[in-house]
Structure 1
Amino acid sequence: MSFKHELGQVVQVTISGEEGHIKARAEYTNMCNQYLIHYLAADGRAVDAWFEEGELSPAKLD
């Protein structure tokens, strides 16, 4: 299975609207692709968190 998003790409967490860039990605045999996103949380903290591929969309660049 190929990855939908590229390393370094800016993406949006679909449910919250927060944006960040992809630092890493993981491929598994028994589950969907995962991405480690570095983003600024709504409360102002810098966060690294893993998300499933379906939880992300490309960020809209203005």
Structure 2
Amino acid sequence: MNNKTETTLAVLRAMRRTSALDVSFADKPVATISMDGFTKAYRYLGTSCGFPTGDVAP
């Protein structure tokens, strides 16, 4: 996977803005994942691992 910073930030910001993610494989729905608590969890991860979170969850 080509992990470009702008792509990663776009995905993380989208995860912060949405209420749920729909997961599909081969165009078949598999699951819906709630994003409740994403911002709090992302900030905690940043604090624990020592990376800034302001670019995704100010």
Do they fold alike, i.e. is TM over 0.5? Answer: no
Structure with greater helix share of residues: 2
Structure with greater strand share of residues: 1
